[in-house]
Chains A and B, each alone.
Chain A
């Protein structure tokens, strides 16, 4: 492998020791070697990517340096619109859909000189925790091909873990970046709500969705975030104020920080290996001078329930536009209503259908107050709980996922068990706070375990500072065993 991180790749590029084209060819080669087993990608745009890599090399030769992502091969979750390249959200309903415009994140990647190599697999419309809900087939975990990579951004997580891309982007509505990052042994980060534009991200739940990076290192994550975030006038929920510098405190260490271990994110449902690794990491951090206290956030117990009312409610409305009238799949009918109904019945998979029904129900007259209204009140209570906690600590820590990667098919017939996969992740979405998952070790079966760091809104500098220390303490091997040839 030419480089093990994008920062290293950047150094080599600028030193003239490699080229964007060479980095791309290596990524393409890794993908062609692993895709048959992993199925991380839905589309690989070889031609387009080669053009971008050529341009990136030409620019560098001309002395034009577009920043940290210049010449870096990047994979995008297939729910981000790419002009001229098929974008499906892993749904039949968008089979063959080619967007006429780029998402803001995609435009920023282009102007940052990144080489967009393809679109990665996901649970349909980002609804799921295993990437098994894709209409185009499951993605598998590079550490164990019988297991899932997590989800919904499983394709992006697997691509980075397998080395077919140094950087990938996913979206996180209720853990969809952090949980697969944890299960695939890579770094996955969800930024503060409103800091990364949602323009061009196919919406699942608008008040929760946020795009973020998958990388091999914490530093890479901070660099990638700095390249895509910032105010966007096309997204009304975009944050217009001053942004922190994610890279500013990476080297400062944890000494002097005060962190809280969340009581509610342990115990029943958490695998012993996960709990042990988490406790071990907390102890290591304490040794470096981090002050550790136990913090209770009682509302975390009901966060999952609130999430499964709010997210489906928004989704039921967001997904109403997929009706066969203007684009995507159309299944004909004798009336307009029949055409719409048939298109939607055939176009959506079972999990998406379940959530649309759930959401429609919770918004209905007579139920609104008991369901959606109540969930909004819980959301406010969670935000208050967080505020109380952050008046005592700089960051909160927990496992990213209660378990390591599970067997494919193990939870597909039990939606509740699947939903519990994200129990540690959902509170940060409901509060709009940043959170990151950093790999800290393997269980006895050799499966990765992730450690979650949460921070208050716009607390990315502190979050990355602590995450960098976690990474140093973990000294984690980056090589998935199942694809030994990759490393």
Chain B
């Protein structure tokens, strides 16, 4: 027996003793359909397979819900044990549902029930027992359930459990491949404002967030001959939705485990690699983008740090802490470099704390923090009266999941914010207040962090339908606009100098808003939504996958078309009770899904909108949702990938498919184009994870399959002449 197995066996013995001892907790209720031995073994298996996401204390983190306490019972008390078992068995571990044996799932469910106060019975749980959970468990977590944990596993979600969690990649962290770029031209403000045609220097390529390449070599006439140039397997483990960054023929690639690689963009040869760590869990994502400035690469990491690497070698120049990862904070949204400052957001601000989410800026040379802008309005501050007088510590959310955009002419950076937490008004107690600055556009001075204006798109949002995604800057003569579309699927157009509403278009079916004021854009919610109480199931179209989610839009200035990936599904959402207590918190909403009316079962929708008129030019629908950001090009071709492994080229003007291929797994991430030695390339990621845009079709479209591994970068080009 290995040392590890001996340790696990010893732990199991301790745990079983603990479970037998707290069998009195659920007195007065019927015994649960499991044994003490099963629950004890399930505790060990839970720590090994589940605690990395749900926390050793079952407290949940990010999108992983609480599995014990008030929130769990609020969600599951009226449902049955077989449904819980079926859910766990078919969908867990996240991204690898069904990969464990049935006995493991049975034991884990037994542990979860016992950790919610259910007392053990005489028979082992098989998964077939259909018993109302509220009749055997009360959500009171027995002290022994946590006391029996190994010390390393106690504490908040940030404290990762000991045990046999699968980590990626295998091997050591740190600088794992040494190499030196022979030549590297430092990136200047001028380069960022006017990027060379063959470069892709930031998340959406230009400061305006267009995801548009001026390259024309691949066009509507020849794209049908596109072929694979090279492919590079990436780290597995964790969500990955990356944007390859390319400068002077070198591709900088972020992987899970906060691994950064420099590759020859023409051949795919690795030049250097730095595995910054920490190693990810299955739900722990890679950053969506890196930022370049001067002679450095900036890496916001999943443990809420900001690293500056020497672009030539990949070695760490400095490291700065954005927020304390042990409290659950993270960054997966990337960064933007403006005037020698690196601006980053913050995510997973969904627990009740005295701290709140913020956008922050760091000196590119030193890593010293320059400013912070808190995205939650507190009592006594402007906007602080929009939270129904909630104490400051219970005002959470407003994360920034995607790096902002920037207008160099008016020196303003634009960021979107996520919804308030918990998700529903009923759970968080914010009544009909706007809960500023959640679900809003923020216009900030990039030098000081001072707020210039804000626009609240969804005041008092209540269905996990945030408006956090890319802000796209478009000019029509003197009219300087900002366009954005969020999960509700409303395409918003604002004057980006004043924040004034200019117009809106509905891109998918929605039934939340009874109307949108044509002058102000303020939506009026359906009355029953305003009246929703904890425990009330209520319908919302779209559901939490959107509408529009993180697969980003692209703006083609030549055709004045914005091409928008959209998702068509609906949700029944049930607000859960949430104890108002520091350290508690989360999303607190149960969900049941269904396909959107009028879609013929097609979850995928791609629509091109004229940004001057907000009129749709064309629409493409299909069963599989589109999962990449769109790339448009001066060659008249748009590129997009989907959940069903297809990657295609489309005529931007007409929506007609010109070329398509099928890749190793789900095609997601952000498509880019670059040039090396005079040749144009198209790069796209196959990736996994990614929250609702991936999770919802996994539930709703069980007939579509893709492998649970296969993260990679595929690079395409025309054949050599």
**A pairs with B:** no
Residue positions of B touching A, CB distance < 8 A: none
